[in-house]
Amino acid sequence: MAFDLFPLLRPGLHAFEPERAHEMTLRSLELGLYPRSCGRDPASLHQKLFGLDFSNPVGMAAGFDKDGRVPDALFGLGFGFAEVGTVTPRPQAGNPKPRLFRLPADQAVINRMGFNNRGLAALSARLGGRRRGGGILGINIGANKDSSDKTSDYVTGVQAVQDLADYIVINISSPNTPGLRDLQAREALEELVGRVMAARSSATPLLVKIAPDLDEAGLEDVVAVAMAHGIDGMIVSNTTLSREGLSDPAAGEEGGLSGRPLFARSTRMLARTHVLTGGKLPLIGVGGVDSGAAAYRKILAGASLIQLYSALIYQGPALIGRIKNELAAALNRDGHASLAEAVGAEAKALSEQ
Ligand SMILES: Cc1cc2nc3c(=O)[nH]c(=O)nc-3n(C[C@H](O)[C@H](O)[C@H](O)COP(=O)(O)O)c2cc1C
């Protein structure tokens, strides 16, 4: 295994304001200054989902690469898939800075970025020239803050990215765009999903990403709409507005909380979603994954794939390889020949915790 430099680099990187450190990380990925993952992924981690071949189930969550600048570098780091975005039809600046906060005492992050991105045209121009392959590319789409018809923004998004993406995510769960989460309510979602599915002219899989703060009835509604309209999968979950159990002085910042304190809440919701769907819809588990054990728990709760973001800020990219190795070892230990066999194996118990 290659020597992990990140523990030595982290104090220097974290001396910078978080958004600046993030831009420096993106720049170094653009310049090719990152450790390449070498060796093949263990065969037990391979899966075919939505008609796509995932060489491993570990993905970069949305929000890290909002403009699709570095998907191929992310595959080079060892991710099996990368989700770029959220991208909105028109470019937008996002909220005033500072808007991104580290909570090291809680191994957490709070952000109120507000969909800062360069818009669909810039993303399409960038990704249009790219050679496909190397990993699975998801594109996560959203609505502009000042849009009077948010549903139309998603229709525009699907039409623009469907030929560039291996899968598309309808993000209706960011807490930082006023009114966005209201699209999770049954009637609004019926209309949104209906229009978006009608706008889709290719077979590109369509997933919905939900908030961890939905109550049981709200979750049942989302699952019912998703299943009725033939949505391909769900991502559980986005960041939370809850501030339960935090000790870091930055805990009072406004925005969405991610990282370790989100793990229990998002994993419970994932397990409930698996139970409600009867295991029929592939789920992506995201929220607080910071080890192979945490990733394995998401899989037992019902995730076919997992994503992470916040833990990378604290542990660096060697975490990706550690998770893959630990997952393969856990499957072997528990006698599962493949990952698919373990998906949802403990969903019932975990949904009641
Ligand atoms: C700085 C930051 C920006 C994010 N931006 C987005 C976004 O644009 N779209 C989205 O769907 N999720 C976004 N997320 C949420 C992540 O994709 C993920 O759902 C959440 O952080 C939980 O995973 P984690 O605990 O591994 O970070 C963002 C998260 C962070 C920390």
Residue 28 resides in a domain? no
Residue 5 resides in a domain? no
Residue from 258, 270, 308, 320 whose mutation best tests the ligand 1 pocket (most atoms within 8 A of CB): 258
Say how far apart CA 340 and CA 136 lie, in whole Å.
18
Neighbours of 188 (CB within 10 A): 16
Mean pLDDT by 10 residues, the chain (353 residues): 84 95 96 88 96 97 98 97 98 98 98 98 94 92 95 97 96 91 88 94 94 95 95 97 96 98 98 97 98 98 98 97 97 95 96 90
Q: Which two tokens stand for residue 50?
A: 């939505």
Number of domains observed in the structure of the chain: 1
Residue 30 resides in a domain? no
**Do 98 and 19 touch, CB atoms closer than 8 A?**
yes
Which atom of ligand 1 is the closest one to the Cα of 310? 27
Domain with 194 in it: 45-351
> What does each C-alpha distance from 212 to 88, 90, 313 come to in angstroms?
22, 27, 21
Please report the pLDDT score of residue 22 as a whole number.
98
Residue 268 resides in a domain? yes
Cα 245 to chain center, whole Å?
23
310 catalytic per annotation: no
Say how far apart CA 41 and CA 32 lie, in whole Å.
21
Say how far apart CA 57 and CA 167 lie, in whole Å.
15
Per-position DSSP letters for 315-344, written without gaps between them: H-THHHHHHHHHHHHHHHHTT-SSHHHHTT
Residue 35 resides in a domain? no
CATH number of the domain residue 289 falls in: 3.20.20.70
Please report the pLDDT score of residue 145 as a whole number.
95
**Do 143 and 86 touch, CB atoms closer than 8 A?**
no
Alpha helices in 135-283 (DSSP H): 150-161, 186-199, 216-228, 263-277
Which atom of ligand 1 is the closest one to the Cα of 289? 26
Residue closest by Cα to atom 12 of ligand 1: 62
Cα 225 to chain center, whole Å?
21
Task: Name beta bridge partners: 54.
Answer: 47
Residue type, 71: P
Residue from 239, 266, 289, 312 whose mutation best tests the ligand 1 pocket (most atoms within 8 A of CB): 239
**Ligand 1 midpoint to CA 335 (Å):** 33
The DSSP secondary-structure symbol of 117 reads B
**Ligand 1 midpoint to CA 164 (Å):** 22
Which atom of ligand 1 is the closest one to the Cα of 108? 25
As for ligand 1, residues whose beta carbon falls within 6 Å of it are 61-63, 66, 86, 100, 109, 111, 113, 115, 140, 171, 174, 209, 238-239, 258-259, 262, 286-289, 308-311
Which atom of ligand 1 is the closest one to the Cα of 169? 11
Which atom of ligand 1 is the closest one to the Cα of 171? 11
**Ligand 1 midpoint to CA 277 (Å):** 24
Q: pTM score, two decimals?
A: 0.98
Residue 15 resides in a domain? no
Residue 22 resides in a domain? no
Residue 147 resides in a domain? yes
**Ligand 1 midpoint to CA 113 (Å):** 10
Residue from 79, 238, 283, 314 whose mutation best tests the ligand 1 pocket (most atoms within 8 A of CB): 238
Q: Among the options 37, 147, 173, 174, which is catalytic?
A: 174
